[in-house]
Amino acid sequence: MRSQSIYKVPQGKLLKISVEYDEKNNVIMNIRITGDFFAYPEEAIELMETKLRNVLMEREQLLEKIRSIITEYHIQFIGVNAEGLTQGILMCKP
């Protein structure tokens, strides 16, 4: 199933996420994170999209995975954060 969300991060930017996910297993197959936020380095967003494949569409798992990617690759987000990304992804679920 393919789904999109638009989420204004509190005190942050507008996040537009599109997710292709396996409904039966509740996992992300493909994800595209777009919006008017900032990330350093910028290329980290593609990495984030790749690393989120096969992750369960549940708050705890998403938050933990996103936080670990941010730490491991020294990503600095401005206008969005791990909570915002998680919320945007979960909003893709009906």
Partner 1 sequence: MKEQWRLLQTGFNTAFSNMAVDRAILVVNSEGKVPPTVRFYGWIPSAISIGYFQSLADEVDIRACERLGVDYVRRITGGGAVFHEKELTYSIVIPESHPEIPKNIMKSYGRICGAVQKGLHHLGIESEYVPINDIVTGGRKISGNAQTRKLETVLQHGTVLMDVDVDKMFSLLKVPNEKIKDKLITDVKQRVTSVRHLLGKDVRFEEVAGAMKIGFEEEFHVELIEGKLSKEELALAKKFEKECFSAKDWNHRR
Q: Is 51 one of the binding residues for partner 1 (CB under 8 A)?
A: no
Q: Is 52 one of the binding residues for partner 1 (CB under 8 A)?
A: no
Tokens of 91: 């909003």
AA letter at 77? F
Among 10, 42, 60, 94, binds partner 1 (CB under 8 A): 42
Helix/strand number for the chain, H first, E second: 3, 5
SS3 call for 48: helix
Q: Which stretch binds partner 1 (CB under 8 A): 9-17, 20-28, 61-69, 83-91?
A: 9-17
# of chain residues touching partner 1 (CB under 8 A): 20
Q: Is 41 one of the binding residues for partner 1 (CB under 8 A)?
A: yes
Task: Give the H or E element holding residue 44.
Answer: helix 44-51
